[in-house]
Chains A and B, each alone.
Chain A
Amino acid sequence: MAEHFVKVYTRFNRIWHWSQVVSIMLLFFTGARMLGLHQLGPFGLAVTVHTLVALALLLLWAFATFWLFTTGGWRQFIPRLTGMVKVARFYAFGVFKGEEHPYHKTFDRRHNPLQALAYFALKMALFPAIWISGLLYLSYNLWGANDAQAFWLGLVANIHVLAAFAIAAFVVAHVYLLTIGHGFREHVRPMLTGYDRVDLTPEAEAYLAQKGLLKD
């Protein structure tokens, strides 16, 4: 096994990621405007941007899901227990003593076990919660006719807001964790260039070299 610069993030992967960054930030900003956390810009503009960006993001998610399943990329996101304790122990203790991160990326497992679990929770719980509640919120007039006391609307709205804050909490942890290990820049660069340092078996090395996915 040796470390190599490998193209781990395809163009679509990177576009997917940064589009999500931009849209989720816009959604946070406009959502906070509607929730009354700030007064920057008109409420109506916030509604418009929030709605359009959310629909665009949903479309992107539909493409991404298709892409993940057709490329087999979905396997990256299935959590497993192997190494979990080590990684957890690292974040809880080792990191303060300057220990090395115990996890080494491989080509088909670029997330450490804790990371994979977090992404899995995000994709399976928080994202569905936000977009199902969001779509229900948006389409209230199609189903809310008999919701005389607005109970269901209130429920949907509260779930939507709670899920949004949970995603915001994820973003905080996500960005913070970039500062651990090789450093913030080192962590962000692969998502810009597509290339990251990954342990490769000689077979994988040969295969990726043939495919032109190795940089050195």
Chain B
Amino acid sequence: MKHAFMRTAVLVSAVVLGAGAALAQESPATNETEVGAQSRPAPGALAAHMSDPVKELTADHTKFEILKGPFASGPEVTAACLSCHTEASNQVMHSVHWKWEYENPATGQVLGKAKELNAFCGNVASNETRCTSCHTGYDWVDVRQPMPDDPTKVDCLVCHDTSGQYAKQDNLAGNPPLEPVKDGSKTITGAKATPVDLVKAALSVGEPSRQNCGNCHFYGGGGDNVKHGDLSSALFDPPKAVDVHMSKDGANFTCEACHVSDKHVLAGSRYNTDVVDPHAAERKPGEARDVASCTSCHSDAPHTGPNPVLALKLNDHTDRVACQTCHIPEFARGGVATKTWWDWSTAGKLKEGKSYGEENFIQSDGKHLHTYLSTKGDFQWAENVVPYYAWSNGVMSYTLPETQINPTQIVEINAIGGEPGDKDARIFPFKRMGGKQAYDTERNVLLYNHVYGPGDGAALWSHFDWEKSLKFAMDYVGLEYSGKFDFVETYMYWPITHMVAPKDDALKCDSCHAENGRMANVAGIYVPGGGIGIGGKLGLVVFLMALLGVAGHGVLRLFGRKGGHHG
């Protein structure tokens, strides 16, 4: 019985294996098209031998046939990536980088680029192919709808290219410039667009560098350092004086050193900022952290000098003052100015029927920056800017498209959360962006604008007509618009957390501990040295009375001429 069973099993196995082999031989073409027009190398054929140099990563992407192309588009490269990294796109599609939508757990507000209004270009909706040029995907042409669930539309290269020549064109909804590139085309960094070599890019993939992140994040708002103030092209290769963490002479960190990633979701948010790391003390040495705050690495008692007394006193500050407040004395350092004022109300002026620009700001490197554009209005710029300080628990509440505003006051596009003295709040530095934006004078709500859209007859940048631009945009997003508009002054706050200076350049005590020091307008604190106060005033009176008293007494003694001197 036993032998008979064994024999049957072997026979069955042989038949199955034989059939499998036969099937495989019959359909080599199917296999090839699936994998990308190359034959699959034998298992182990690509493996490095002991005699080869040891590499950093366990996979050498230059060896993969599938990455050798040819590729006709970005999505074709992504498809190749997905043939091994089957879950990568799914992870990316669950990130803010992809969704441009973020539900703030602290406020319940639905934010994100696809939803909110800002104090720069205003809104993405109706301006897509231009604004979505920085999207980490391809072909998002209508942000009223979420990106389709298409894994090949994820742009792997924008983050993982290390060849340095992959770029996104500034008006192709996230696609790179490919042959033929239209004359005058630019990339999202404002550089001249040249055709991208997708094969070269695909073979180069690696971990994201500052170059990858910076190509989008350093150019937010339409130009170098326009938006953040603490994120500029100066950080591609900064001297230590500009950023101790990112400088080659410092820690030479990539962005993910702090913005640690988990399943393609990166730590850190300007909607819900980690002002403090509440679990730093509970973490074991070397344990993974997922909070992008200074104290995640430095602890909340990092000072050891310049002497033990001051070290203690400096550490005494950390329950009220964020590290950034002293250690980023100014932002927009390193020779790249940031936009501090954007007045849309003056946009649309023409000279002899033509749009024009003025360049009256001269950056420290001699470069002239625009201070007026017919397309965008008036601008102000600044370098080495002293931040605006405010108590912050990191939670930003936005003036959303349908939020009622009070046009007699300056409208805060985002209000900084946190009360003085809150356990989870610190005095934090911000860039305060000012400007004027369109609002509905009947409904008292901010208005969407339509600035970009060649050929549709309404875009501001082509037609310089606010009526048409605003009507088109409000219709596009499906919101009510009275047709009457004006411009209201706005503030928008951007947390300042990059460009940490060497410790010798940190603020000195009397930057704050002096009359009219940096904390002069911050509520809920007592700053020694910030003014002599009631105690000082009373004390001075007592002291001066004593001085006057003895002076008077002395004069009387001299006046009497007899004095008390006789010994």
Mark interface residues in B538-567 (1 if CB within 8 Å of A CB, else 0): 111011011101100110110110111111
Q: Which of A101, A161, A168, A183 contacts B535 (CB 8 A)?
A: A161
Q: How large is the interface on B (under 10, 10 to 19, 20 to 34, 35 or more residues)?
A: 35 or more
Within 8 A of A (CB), among B508-543: 508-510, 513-515, 524-526, 528-536, 538-540, 542-543
Contact status B567-A44, CB under 8 Å = no
Contact status A44-B545, CB under 8 Å = no
CA distance A41 to B419 in the complex (A): 35
CA distance A80 to B538 in the complex (A): 30
Q: CB-nearest residue of chain A relative to B558? A: A96
Q: Does B249 contact A (CB under 8 A)?
A: no
Q: Which of A34, A96, A101, A169 contacts B529 (CB 8 A)?
A: A34
Question: At the interface, is chain A mostly helix, strand, loop or mixed?
Answer: helix
Q: Which of A47, A160, A162 contacts B313 (CB 8 A)?
A: A47
CB distance from B274 to the nearest CB of A (A): 21
CA distance A95 to B566 in the complex (A): 12
Number of A-B residue pairs at CB separation under 8 A: 140
Q: Does A150 contact B (CB under 8 A)?
A: yes
Within 8 A of A (CB), among B476-520: 508-510, 513-515
Contact status A150-B539, CB under 8 Å = no
Number of interface residues of A (CB under 8 A): 50
Given A34-B513, A161-B536, A162-B539, A169 and B546 contact (CB-CB distance below 8 Å): yes
The interface residues of chain B lying within 8 Å CB-to-CB of A36 are 513-515, 529-532
Q: Does A106 contact B (CB under 8 A)?
A: no
Contact status B508-A43, CB under 8 Å = yes
Q: Does B309 contact A (CB under 8 A)?
A: yes
Contact status B515-A182, CB under 8 Å = no
Contact status A98-B528, CB under 8 Å = no
CB distance from A98 to the nearest CB of B (A): 3
Q: Does B358 contact A (CB under 8 A)?
A: no
The interface residues of chain A lying within 8 Å CB-to-CB of B529 are 34-36, 43
Contact status A176-B553, CB under 8 Å = yes
CA distance A37 to B565 in the complex (A): 36
CA distance A101 to B563 in the complex (A): 12
Q: Does A48 contact B (CB under 8 A)?
A: yes
Q: CB-nearest residue of chain A relative to B539? A: A165
Q: Does B148 contact A (CB under 8 A)?
A: no
CB distance from A101 to the nearest CB of B (A): 7
The interface residues of chain A lying within 8 Å CB-to-CB of B421 are 147-150
The interface residues of chain A lying within 8 Å CB-to-CB of B553 are 91, 95, 176
Mark interface residues in A28-72 (1 if CB within 8 Å of B CB, else 0): 000000111101001110011001100000000000000000000
Q: Does A108 contact B (CB under 8 A)?
A: no
Q: Which of B508, B539, B565 contacts A164 (CB 8 A)?
A: B539
Q: Does A181 contact B (CB under 8 A)?
A: yes
Sample 15 A-B pairs with CB under 8 A, ordered by A number: A34-B528, A35-B529, A96-B557, A96-B559, A140-B316, A141-B319, A149-B524, A160-B535, A164-B539, A165-B540, A165-B542, A170-B546, A172-B547, A173-B546, A176-B553
